[in-house]
Structure 1
Amino acid sequence: MLTLKDSVIIDQPQDAVFEWFEHFTENYTFWHEDHVIAKWVRGKNFEEGSVLYAEEYLNGKLEKLSFEITRYKKGEFIEYKILFPHSIISPAGAFHVESLGNNRCLFTATLSFRFGWMFLKFAKGRVESLRKHMREEGENLKVLLESKG
C-alpha cells in the first residue's frame, strides 16, 4: 500500500481547524480553486457513517467522489473510506490535527492507494498531481485559518 502524506503547521489551535471543518460544505470551494461542490448525502458534519459527495478537478479532469466517515474525534481526527468506484484504487484517507502548544497545531492529510509500487509506476503523473493538490490544500487551509486569527 502506498500512502501519500502532507503536513503543515497552522498558527491556530486545533479547535479552529475543527470549527472550519464543521462548515465543510460551505468552505469547500474556498479551500482549493479546483474544488467544485461538496454536500452531505447521508448524515452530517463528519458523524460516523455519514457520506459526503464532492467534485473537484484533478489534472484538468472532473472527479466525482463519495466518502464515508469511518472514525471521527473532534479536535483530533477525521478518517474516511472512499466509495466505489474510486475505492478500487484508493480505499481511505484521513485528516489528523495535533496540538503543538502555544495555539499552534500540525494538520496532516493522508491518502492511501492499493497496489503500492505498481500504482506508483503506472500512475506516476496522477500521484504527483495528488501530492501537489494535497500540499496546496494544506497551505490554503493554513492561510484561511491564520487570516481569521
Structure 2
Amino acid sequence: MKTLRESIEINVSPEIIWDWILHIAENYLEWHPSHIKANWETEIASEVGSILYAEEDISGEFLKMSSKLTRLIPNKLYRFKTVGSLKLILAGGSFEIEPSEKGSIFTTTLDFHMGKLLSKFIKKKVQQISQHMIEEGQNLKKILEK
C-alpha cells in the first residue's frame, strides 16, 4: 500500500471547508481545471453509503471513478473507498480538517494498492497524481479565501 498525503493551511474555519466538501459534486468543476464531471449515483448525497461518480483528466489520462463514503466526522473527516474497476489500483482516501491558528489544515490522502516495485514502475504517474493533489489544495485555498 502506498499513501500519498498533501496538506495546506486554509484561512477559514473547519466548518466552511466541511460545507464545501459536503457539496463536492456541485463544486467539483471549479476545484481543478482537469475535473470534467461529478454527480451522486445514490439518491442521498454526502452520507455514509453515498456514492460519488467523478471524471477527470490527469496529464492526458481520462479517469472515471466511483467512491463510496465510509466515514464522516463533521468538520473533521470525510473518508471514502473506491468502488468499480479503479478499486484494483486506488483503495480510497480521505479529506481531513484540523483547526489551526489561522484557520484550518486541510489534508488529502489517497491509498494505492502498490508495493515498492510497482511504485517505481509508475513513478511518473504517482508524481502527476501528487502534483494534482497539491494543485487541488492550492485551488481550494483560493476558492475559500475569496
Q: TM-score range by the shorter chain?
A: over 0.9
| Shift in Å, 1:8 | 0.1
1:22 Cα deviation (Å)?
2.5
Task: Trace 1:11-90 onto structure 2 (pairs within 5 A).
Answer: 11-90=11-90
Letter in 2 for 1:28: Y
Whether contact under 8 Å (1:113, 1:119) holds in the other structure is no
Q: Which residue of 1 aligns with 2:138?
A: 139
- The one-letter code matched in structure 2 to 1:85 is S
CA distance in 2, matches of 1:70, 1:100: 26
Tell me which amino acid in the other structure corresponds to 1:111.
Answer: L
Give aligned-pair identity as a percent: 36
CA displacement at 1:41 relative to structure 2: 0.4
User: Tell me, which stretches of 5 or more residues in structure 2 are unaligned?
Assistant: none
Rounded Cα–Cα distance in structure 2 between residues aligned with 1:141 and 1:129: 18
User: Contact 1:46/1:78 (CA < 8 Å) preserved in 2?
Assistant: no
> Match for residue 127 of structure 2?
128
- Structure 1 residue runs without a partner (length 5+): none
| SS of equivalent residue, structure 1 residue 42 | coil
Q: CA RMSD in A?
A: 1.1
Q: Give structure 1 regions of 4+ aligned residues with deviation exceeding 2 angstroms.
A: 43-46
Alignment size in residue pairs: 146
